[in-house]
Amino acid sequence: MSAYRLLPGLVVLCLGALAARAIGLTVGLNHLLVAIALGFALANGPGVPDRLRPGIETHKLWLGAGIVLMGASLTLEAILEVGATVLLVVALVIAVTIVVVEVLSRNVFGLAEQLGSLLAAGASICGVSAVVAVAGAIRAREDQIAYAAATVLLFDAITIVVYPIVGGLLGLSDVVFGVWAGVSMFSTGPVVAVGFAYSEVAGQWATMTKLSRNALIGVVVLAYASYYAQQGEGGRPSIGLLWAEFPKFVLGFIALVVLASAGVFSPAQEATIENAYNWLFLLAFVGLGTEIRIAELRNTGVTPAIVVLVSLLLVSAFSLALLVLLF
């Protein structure tokens, strides 16, 4: 794709980021949430013209780049302080989420098995990315993929608003809130946005926790592929598919954490990198806001939304209670 095609949309992202920063400083609102609101207003107001779409759709690239650079502000020592505990919580919450969604889908609401599995994957790992990855392994129908993806996006939009409010009302510590958002929200963008809206520390823990969830996407895809293959309804995923779906920015993030732990970056360089990833997040969240379209969310099936809502309430309460006890 030529740079010329990307330029108009990139200009809009930059202008949105600058406007979000200015509004945030003037009004006292968190600039990352303002960036999402501006993107939402564009998508649901005048709409996003076709000529802007290629550039605006690069927002996932800027989110990944920001996460990579954020690794420079962390050290292995800081991560390992509660890292093992967080990993155990992540594994437990993923397992609980999958079981709850599958049981509700199949035994309570009578959804098709493939649709329930797509909802479980999206809620337990990394939102729409997990839906798409698992869909390829279990041969889900296009309409099932659409329902599952729309349901995940609906709750991404809801949790962006609700989580900071609940965290503030309960007076959660930065670490507890960050890990809670990281283990129970769905997609990476909303998790990072909500975490940093709460505080810098919460944002770091939310991002690290979410990355550990994302890295387990291959395990979940293999598990579902094996199950459906035994039922005669799925296929074996290739190494290429698993690598294609693996979030590569996790590797870059780890590399910069290692470099920071080795003392490679000076305080001035760390400050510059922090400023850079904050701006990259602003660009990403303007684009993220354009993905929340009311017209598409209205097409979400009622039953899949109820399944995910009940699951989210149960898993959020369970994970929060567990984290408050542990931390």
Q: Which tens digit of pLDDT belongs to each residue from 193-225?
A: 999 999 999 999 999 999 889 888 888 888 898
**CA-CA-CA-CA dihedral for 150, 234, 218, 196, to nearest 10:** 10
Per the structure block, which two tokens stand in for 248? 């590569």
What is the widest separation between alpha-carbon atoms in the chain?
A: 59
As a whole number of angstroms, the distance between CA 86 and CA 245 comes to 23
Could you tell me if 253 and 211 are in contact, meaning their C-beta atoms sit under 8 angstroms apart? yes
The model carries a pTM of 0.84
CA separation for the pair 34, 16 (Å, rounded): 9
Q: Report the candidate in 94, 116, 308 with the shortest Cα–Cα distance to residue 215.
A: 94
- Identify the band that residue 238 occupies on the pLDDT scale cut at 50, 70 and 90: low
Higher pLDDT, 242 or 93: 93
pLDDT reported for residue 299:
66
247 CB-side CA count, 13 A: 30
Distance CA 279, CA 283 (A): 6
Q: Which residues contact 268 (CB under 8 A, 6 or more apart)?
A: none
The tens digit of pLDDT for each residue in 154-197 reads 899 999 999 999 999 999 999 999 999 999 999 999 999 999 99
Distance CA 231, CA 248 (A): 32
Reported as a pLDDT band with limits 50, 70 and 90, residue 254 is: confident
The pLDDT of residue 70 is above 90: no
Tokens representing residue 137 in the block: 């392994």
pLDDT tens-digit series, residues 1-55: 567 899 999 999 999 999 999 998 898 878 888 998 999 999 999 999 999 999 9
Region 129-143: what's the mean pLDDT? 84
Average pLDDT over all residues of the chain: 88
H-type helices in 171-199, by residue range? 174-184, 188-198
Q: How confident is the model at residue 241 (pLDDT cuts 50, 70, 90)?
A: low
For residue range 308-317, list pLDDT tens digits in order. Answer: 999 999 999 9
